[in-house]
Amino acid sequence: MSEQDFELADRRSEEEREAQIAAASRALKIAGRVRCMDCDCSISLARIRAYPAATRCAECQTDFEQEQRCR
């Protein structure tokens, strides 16, 4: 592969990643949640990608699940 081929592949990879981020952001806005329902902090993009229906940030979700186990 030539240097130009590598550059093209890198550019395409970056474009795909940006498109995935934009799609996750749109899906989240459609779902109506971009902020944690408990602490009102932003829900991380990584969490949204992993679980698009998330209503809590990872920290608050962990706390919530621990509270549920103790009951």
Burial class (CB in 10 A: 0-12, 13-18, 19+), 2: exposed
Other beta carbons within 10 angstroms of residue 31's beta carbon come to 13
Q: How far is CA 66 from CA 6, 27, 51, 55, in A?
A: 47, 28, 19, 16
Domain range summary for the chain, segments of one domain joined by + = 3-70
Whether pTM > 0.85 for this model: the answer is no
The vertex-25 CA angle with 27 and 13, nearest 5°, equals: 110
- Type of residue numbered 25: S
What share of the chain has pLDDT > 70, as a percent? Answer: 90
The pLDDT, as a whole number, for residue 50 is 86
More confident residue, 53 or 11: 11
